[in-house]
Amino acid sequence: MKGLLVLGLGLVALAAASELTLQERVVDLVLEAFHNRKVVQWVYKKQAMEDVTETEYPAGPFVRLRVKLQQTQCPNQPGSRQDCALKRRGRKQICLACVKFDSRSGGKVLDRYIHCRTEKQQPETETETTRHEEACSTVQETGEAPYHPGVFAFSRGLPS
């Protein structure tokens, strides 16, 4: 009987440890979106995360981060995305990701914005940066009830 209890507790602990953090889930979403593009011929791996912000809202958590990806030696084919060695002089990508999760449905993605560019591209112009920030703000506001000062939330009129 004790053996079953220990086994059960061990499985619960293993399941809890295997759950991905929100940041890891966002990186997985970035890699999935990036590898699903038809022009991507090689598998890329995460090298580093930067500018990570995680904010809790009533509708659910919002995660914004930049992730650096590097090209590997494996071709981008289903099933070939594991245990790939990095190319010594492989291409590098910088991806901006903004993801809003739904707290009511077990962390389902409400909205997301992912933009990747090669590291060697010229720095983004102010217009491009503004466009990306506006897209992230739109994702951040997803699912939030608009606030209208002075408006009362009565569904019926008061009795006369």
Give the model confidence (pLDDT) of 12-21 as tens digits. 333 343 467 9
How confident is the model over 125-136, as pLDDT tens digits? Answer: 888 889 999 999
pLDDT band at 63 (very low <50, low <70, confident <90, very high): very high
Indicate the pTM of the whole model.
0.74
Asked whether the predicted pLDDT for residue 31 surpasses 90, the reply is yes
Predicted pLDDT at 150:
53
Three-state DSSP at 104 gives coil
| Separation of alpha carbons 149 and 141, rounded Å | 17
Assigned architecture for domain 20-140: Roll (3.10)
* Extended strands (E) in 27-145: 42-56, 61-75, 92-102, 108-118
Phi/psi-derived region of residue 60, left when phi > 0, alpha when psi is between -120 and 50, beta in every other case: left
Output the CA angle 82-93-134, nearest 5 degrees: 120
